[in-house]
């Protein structure tokens, strides 16, 4: 049975529970948790399951009331994933999974299935900014021949909690604090880290959340994961366990933390604009679709439980099999009607795809439907064009309800009926052959509020993730923890988090303690011994994404009298590799180049800083440079590009501006007068070797 950690900060009235986290026992009847109808709650940590690894039971009124109340807390904005951006596109299967599934979308090679994909942040409201440190939602609605399939996941393969009954607590903790209404879209505050410190099962997710994955460069450059474990069923109803993956063709890329903060001020809609403009000009984002497949025996042989959503399957153990691709090729016609009204349901699955007993997924099967009823106000939300099933017949015997738009004929709204024998329309019937069938898996006999002992290891996968990162990524992760915990005002909360980090990696914990100028507390006691798993280089970002200008943006700062030939050469070279070029000038009207030609500007200097570009070039005249030496925005343009590890190309006349900005020579600083082509190589990536000289990291 899983036990919770204890350390010197554990409250005296707390005692270990069976869910791997702290059970805080009420000291009096007035202090105890009860349902909205006054029934005392005996266990607020675990949902009611058919056996420790069994499915969650519908009779769990504590779970249903808690999540249903949570689902209805906001109207009409989504409680989580409120800020979203989306696009239409298609899915094309390239390899059949007929051996494992009878779902046509997974068996008909070459067929293009229409889809709609929504990306989102988790913590902030609909009016928050695009670039905070946050998990990104990655939800895809496939309009298949056999009904809608909604694959609702994130850009991270694991989650904070193991059991859905803790989801309201997690989101309450990370959202704005209840008494003051801030911080918005930020996890760096007391209540979030208090919850995390007391929930060691969250430690693995915290490694991901503090990594570069949660400050992405673009929505076009994030991975997607189904997070939960699902099942596939073939024609013989033989089950296969599956994990779903999306891989961006542009590679997984991130920003720097300081850069993400500055982008939030420069362009709060940075990711939304980037996605829209890429599709608008025909640079259609594309992802590979892959699966990890396991038999039950293979899953049982793993040293962890794949029903635990805080665990991942390293691809070195089970390779990802690429079977298709997704292309986003059309922006929404109306943001509200489509992006805002789209309703994703994990229960939307065509025959041949099924769920597992993952207790997080089991709760989601209830919660999402209930949430849509609250947000969209009617049981008929499926009739909205963006949610309506396409390419397949749709009929049942459900009638009426608010906003009913279909006009049904006949009097049969029940089944079974014999009206067809009298020559009337008896309505649709069930289809035992081609209809949805559930995997026939055994369940345990006893109803319990417990978790399986196989869920008790909270640190081994966190250690695996951290030790799989490159040295730069480890430094970024440690620095993110220092930043977040520096915003925590309660010392005992910082200590609790650090005591958990010791179980992940003592050098990491010491780096964080040093960054906070605090002594390192002793390790919390893990429920089970932490084990060393083989590092997984596939979990890194740096060094993996393709070094290309495709999908990247270069800003050229120009002044009056600048050499137009250099500007044209840089523009041609970047666009020749699929990159985007924007001209930045002191004034939006543009500049007059050497020779008298006018060059229009795409952005004005003060409103178009270097943080929104992947690389920059400064093409100035001597008088133009002299004038910009007195302009803080121009100095920052160069200084921030250098500090954010970007390539900088410059004309000889721009050198004084670089000097004033503190730009020091390295391989990423290229004089364009000598070789424009020499600017392309460093512009394809970041200059990671520069980082130790420009930034103090933990």
Q: What's the average pLDDT block by block, 10 residues per block, for the chain (698 residues)?
A: 36 39 72 77 89 90 84 80 97 98 97 98 96 98 94 98 97 96 96 98 98 98 98 96 98 97 97 98 98 98 97 97 98 96 94 95 94 89 92 81 88 89 88 88 90 96 98 98 98 98 98 98 96 96 91 98 97 96 98 97 97 98 98 98 98 98 97 91 96 94
The catalytically annotated residue of 81, 189, 476, 644 is 81
Taking residue 602's Cβ as centre, other Cβ atoms within 10 Å add up to 15
What local confidence, expressed as pLDDT, does residue 23 receive?
Answer: 66
How far apart, in whole angstroms, are the C-alpha atoms of residue 322 and residue 301?
24
How far apart, in whole angstroms, are the C-alpha atoms of residue 348 and residue 561?
61
How far apart, in whole angstroms, are the C-alpha atoms of residue 471 and residue 384?
49
633 CA to centre of own chain: 33
The catalytically annotated residue of 18, 46, 148, 154 is 154
Give whole-number Cα distances, 588 to 34, 187, 326, 583, 653, in Å.
62, 37, 38, 10, 22
User: Which tokens hold the place of 518?
Assistant: 């605090």
Taking residue 57's Cβ as centre, other Cβ atoms within 10 Å add up to 15
Structural element, H or E, at residue 311: none
Taking residue 370's Cβ as centre, other Cβ atoms within 10 Å add up to 16
- Of 553, 86, 546, 122, nearest in space to 326 by CA: 86
DSSP-derived letter for residue 40 is B
Q: Are 228 and 356 in contact (CB under 8 A)?
A: yes
Give whole-number Cα distances, 322 to 15, 93, 495, in Å.
46, 10, 43
Delimit the domains of the chain by residue range.
Answer: 553-694
**On the CB side of 554, how many CA atoms lie within 13 Å of its CA?**
36
What local confidence, expressed as pLDDT, does residue 65 receive?
Answer: 83
List, for residues 444-502, the tens digit of each pLDDT value. Answer: 889 999 999 999 999 999 999 999 999 999 999 999 999 999 999 999 999 999 999 99
Q: Are 103 and 91 in contact (CB under 8 A)?
A: no
How far apart, in whole angstroms, are the C-alpha atoms of residue 224 and residue 157?
8
Helix axes 257-266, 632-643, angle to 10 degrees: 150
What local confidence, expressed as pLDDT, does residue 75 receive?
Answer: 56
Q: What is the pTM of this model?
A: 0.91
Q: What is the mean pLDDT of the chain?
A: 93
46 assigned to active site: no
User: Which tokens hold the place of 478?
Assistant: 């440690």
Residue 616, strand partner residues = 555, 648
Residue 216, strand partner residues = 254
**On the CB side of 468, how many CA atoms lie within 13 Å of its CA?**
23
DSSP-derived letter for residue 524 is P
What is the DSSP annotation of 216-271?
A: BS-GGG--EE--S-EEEE-TT--EEEEEEEEEETT---B--HHHHHHHHHH-TTHH
Give whole-number Cα distances, 90 to 80, 143, 162, 219, 222, in Å.
26, 9, 32, 17, 18
How far apart, in whole angstroms, are the C-alpha atoms of residue 153 and residue 647?
34
How far apart, in whole angstroms, are the C-alpha atoms of residue 357 and residue 34?
27
List, for residues 234-288, the tens digit of each pLDDT value. Answer: 999 999 999 999 999 999 999 999 999 999 999 999 999 999 999 999 999 999 9
User: Which tokens hold the place of 598?
Assistant: 């006018």
Q: Are 210 and 477 in contact (CB under 8 A)?
A: yes
500 assigned to active site: no
Domain 553-694 is found in CATH 1.20.1250.20: no
């Amino acid at each position: 049975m899983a036990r919770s950690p204890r350390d010197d900060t554990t409250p005296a009235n707390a005692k270990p529970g069976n869910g791997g986290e702290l059970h805080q026992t009420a000291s009096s009847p007035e202090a105890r948790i009860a349902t909205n109808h006054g029934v005392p709650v005996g266990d607020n940590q675990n949902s009611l399951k058919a056996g420790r690894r069994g499915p969650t039971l519908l009779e769990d009124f504590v779970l249903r009331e808690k999540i249903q109340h949570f689902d209805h807390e906001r109207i009409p904005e989504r409680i989580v994933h409120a800020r979203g951006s989306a696009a239409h596109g298609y899915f094309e299967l390239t390899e059949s999974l007929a051996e494992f599934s009878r779902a046509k979308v997974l068996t008909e090679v070459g067929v293009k299935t229409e889809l709609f994909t929504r990306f989102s942040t988790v913590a902030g409201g609909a009016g928050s900014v695009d670039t905070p440190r946050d998990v990104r939602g990655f939800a895809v609605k496939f309009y298949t021949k056999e009904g809608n399939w909604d694959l609702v996941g994130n850009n991270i393969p694991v989650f904070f909690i193991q059991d859905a009954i803790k989801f309201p607590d997690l989101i309450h903790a990370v959202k704005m604090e209840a008494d003051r209404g801030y911080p918005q879209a930020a996890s760096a505050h007391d209540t979030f880290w208090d919850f995390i410190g007391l929930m060691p099962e969250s430690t693995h997710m915290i490694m991901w959340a503090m990594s570069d994955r949660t400050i992405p460069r673009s929505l076009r450059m994030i991975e997607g994961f189904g997070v939960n474990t699902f099942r596939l069923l073939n024609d013989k109803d033989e089950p296969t366990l599956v994990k779903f993956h999306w891989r961006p063709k542009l590679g997984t890329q991130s920003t720097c933390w300081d850069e993400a903060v500055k982008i939030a001020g420069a362009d709060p809609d940075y990711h939304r604009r980037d996605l829209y403009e890429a599709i608008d000009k025909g640079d259609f984002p594309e992802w590979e679709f892959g699966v990890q497949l396991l038999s039950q025996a293979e899953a049982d042989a793993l040293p962890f439980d794949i029903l635990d959503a805080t665990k991942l399957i390293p691809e070195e153990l089970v390779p990802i099999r690429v079977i298709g691709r997704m292309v986003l090729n059309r922006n929404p016609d109306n943001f509200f009607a489509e992006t805002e009204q789209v309703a994703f349901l994990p229960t939307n699955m065509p025959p041949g795809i099924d769920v597992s007993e993952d207790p997080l997924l089991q709760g989601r099967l209830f919660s999402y439907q209930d949430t849509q009823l609250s947000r969209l106000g009617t049981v008929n939300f499926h009739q909205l064009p963006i949610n309506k099933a396409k390419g397949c017949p749709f009929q049942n015997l459900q009638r009426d309800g608010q906003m009913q738009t279909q006009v049904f004929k006949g009097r049969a709204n029940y089944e079974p009926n014999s009206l067809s024998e009298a020559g009337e329309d008896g309505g649709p019937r069930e289809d035992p052959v081609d209809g949805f069938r559930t995997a026939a898996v055994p369940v345990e006999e006893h109803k319990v509020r417990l978790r399986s002992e196989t869920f008790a290891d909270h640190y081994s996968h966190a250690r695996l993730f951290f030790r799989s990162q490159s040295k730069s990524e480890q430094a970024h992760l440690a620095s993110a923890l220092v930043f977040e915990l520096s915003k925590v005002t309660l010392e005992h909360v910082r200590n609790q988090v650090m005591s958990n980090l010791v179980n992940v990696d003592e050098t990491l914990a010491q780096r964080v303690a040093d960054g906070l100028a605090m002594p390192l507390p002793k390790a919390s006691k893990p429920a089970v011994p932490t084990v060393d798993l083989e590092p997984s280089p596939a979990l890194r970002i740096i060094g993996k994404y393709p070094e290309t200008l495709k999908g990247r943006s270069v800003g050229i700062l120009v002044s009056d009298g600048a050499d137009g030939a250099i500007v044209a050469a840089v523009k041609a070279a970047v666009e020749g590799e699929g990159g985007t070029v924007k001209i930045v000038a002191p004034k939006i009207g543009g500049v007059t180049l050497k020779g008298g030609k006018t060059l229009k500007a795409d952005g004005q200097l003060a409103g178009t800083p270097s943080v929104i570009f992947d690389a920059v070039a400064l093409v100035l005249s001597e008088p133009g440079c002299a004038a910009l030496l007195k302009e803080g925005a121009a100095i920052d343009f160069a200084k921030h590009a250098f500090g954010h590890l970007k390539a900088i190309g410059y004309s000889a006349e721009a050198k004084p501006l670089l000097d004033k900005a503190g730009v020091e020579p390295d391989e990423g600083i290229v004089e364009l007068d000598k070789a424009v082509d020499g600017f392309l190589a460093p512009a394809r990536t970041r200059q990671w070797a520069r980082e130790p000289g420009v930034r103090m990291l933990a």
